Amino acid sequence: MPKIKLSLMMFLQYMMYAVWWVPLAAYLTNLEVGSTQKALILSSMAIGCMASPLVGMLADRFFAAQKVLAGLNFIHALMLLWAAVTHNPDVLFICLLLAMLAYMPSWSLSSAIAMAHLPSEDFPKVRVFGSIGWVTSGVFSLVFIHVFNINFDGTHVPFYCGAGVSMAAVLLSFTLPDTPPLAKGQKPPLVDAFGLGSLHLMKDRNFALFILFSFLSMIPFAMYYSYFSEFLLNINTKYISITINWGVLAEMGFLLLVPAAIKKFGLRNTMTLGLVALCIRYLSFYTGGSISQPCMYYIGILIHGLIFGFFYVGGQIYIDKKAPAQLKSQAQGFIFLVTFGAGLLVGNFLCARLIHHYKTEAGYNWNAIWGITTLVSVALLIAFVLLFKDKEKLLKPTN
């Protein structure tokens, strides 16, 4: 029964976000938001990740994690309702910034809740329901277009849908297994007040390298994660959300393969395969444009789950195994701070500059954009293979 509730938690947690985030860049393009301001609004997610370690500290030391999750989801719902009724880019940024300051910590928090009641090796079996929720969010697009005859992608309607799902998640949170703070009563040092108690783990050279590569990987990752809906809008794709969600649909299968891959190849090699997939994604986008074969784009879309599951979920498992019990929530928050926080923030602005640089009166030179992103991904892969050489048993195959 707890496993079912944890799976439903993941389902709603990722659906409430995907339904409005996936088409956001297209919506901002339709609002004719400038490139710098667009990057800033899209970076509301990255800024929101900055709060993840702090919220992790609260869950580690002061409040039951499921109650913290309920409060975060309630704030997220209110801010999305505000975002839905404004067309002012400045106000929209404030709305989404507040929404993401509440929402983004829920990723690490929900992971910590699940791992508190499951063996870490079983975590992907529950986390896969987050991918199912993400894919299912595409149903909203079909319903509004075909049933209500209302445009969905590129409009404000997704904000209302996200708020509704968020409120459902608030109600579910009160039924989740109790996850009390393991470090309750301990006086937090100053560094913990900012959720950075896990920084001492950086003394381990290989752990520090893992954190560095996780950060750097988000720079090419941001081009797909934040701007791919704009690319699809530029090539006149009708169902933007559904097209992108094909990648998350494939992600469900890849997530289920994570435990088997770790057992067969070891955690280090599994993460390496995730970076190989990152290179294949952008090479397929570049090739598809160069030879005018749009079907190649689907290779890059469908391989999303291999990238996310093998490298980023694999990284979560690595973090869970390396961190002591009293710092697990903070450590999960820390990796989100590094990746979807600082990494995505830097990646969004660099990608925005790259896109703007290749903008002409005739449109965008996406072939050049994908080519540069491919080269960056290949360089990252080579550096990871050469430098990250953790020899610990937890990274090796078990057969």
Ranges of beta strands (E only) in the chain are 359-360, 363-364
302-314 pLDDT, tens per residue? 998 889 888 888 8
Residue whose token pair is 């799902």: 165
d(CA 199, CA 183): 17
The answer to whether residue 119 sits within a structural domain is yes
User: DSSP of 51-69, one letter per residue?
Assistant: THHHHHHHHHHTS-HHHHH
Mean pLDDT highest for which of 42-46, 150-154, 384-388? Answer: 384-388
The answer to whether residue 189 sits within a structural domain is no
Greater pLDDT, 60 or 11:
11
pLDDT over 70 percentage in the chain: 88
Q: Is the per-residue pLDDT at 183 higher than 60?
A: no
CATH number, domain with residue 60: 1.20.1250.20
List phi, psi (to 5°) of 25: -60, -40
* Residues contacting residue 270 through CB under 8 Å, at least 6 positions apart: 258, 261, 262, 310, 314
d(CA 65, CA 77): 19
Closest CA to 118 of 10, 18, 17, 196: 10
To the nearest whole number, what is the mean pLDDT of the chain? 84
- Residue 390 pLDDT grade (very low, low, confident, very high; cuts 50, 70, 90): low
Greater pLDDT, 5 or 251:
5
Closest CA to 102 of 235, 201, 13, 4: 13
The answer to whether residue 25 sits within a structural domain is yes
The answer to whether residue 192 sits within a structural domain is no
35-62 pLDDT, tens per residue? 788 888 988 888 877 766 666 666 666 7
The answer to whether residue 201 sits within a structural domain is yes
- Residue 281 pLDDT grade (very low, low, confident, very high; cuts 50, 70, 90): very high
The answer to whether residue 237 sits within a structural domain is yes
List phi, psi (to 5°) of 363: 135, -145
Residue 269 lies in domain: 2-178+197-395
Greater pLDDT, 123 or 189:
123
What's the confidence (pLDDT) of residue 398?
59
What's the confidence (pLDDT) of residue 242?
82
226-258 pLDDT, tens per residue? 888 889 888 888 778 888 888 877 877 787 788
What's the confidence (pLDDT) of residue 134?
85
d(CA 252, CA 255): 5
* Residues contacting residue 212 through CB under 8 Å, at least 6 positions apart: none
- Amino acid letter for position 366: W
Element (H, E) at 320: helix 314-322
Residue whose token pair is 């990740």: 49
Give me the sign of the Cα torsion angle 134, 168, 7, 266: positive
- Residue 120 pLDDT grade (very low, low, confident, very high; cuts 50, 70, 90): low
Beta bridge partners of 364: 359
Q: List Cα–Cα distances, 54 to 51, 61, 106, 258, 329, in angstroms.
A: 5, 11, 12, 29, 10
Number of domains composing the chain: 1
The answer to whether residue 185 sits within a structural domain is no
**Alpha carbon of residue 189 to chain centroid:** 29
Burial class (CB in 10 A: 0-12, 13-18, 19+), 76: buried
What's the confidence (pLDDT) of residue 334?
77
Q: What is the pLDDT averaged over residues 332-355?
A: 85
The answer to whether residue 249 sits within a structural domain is yes
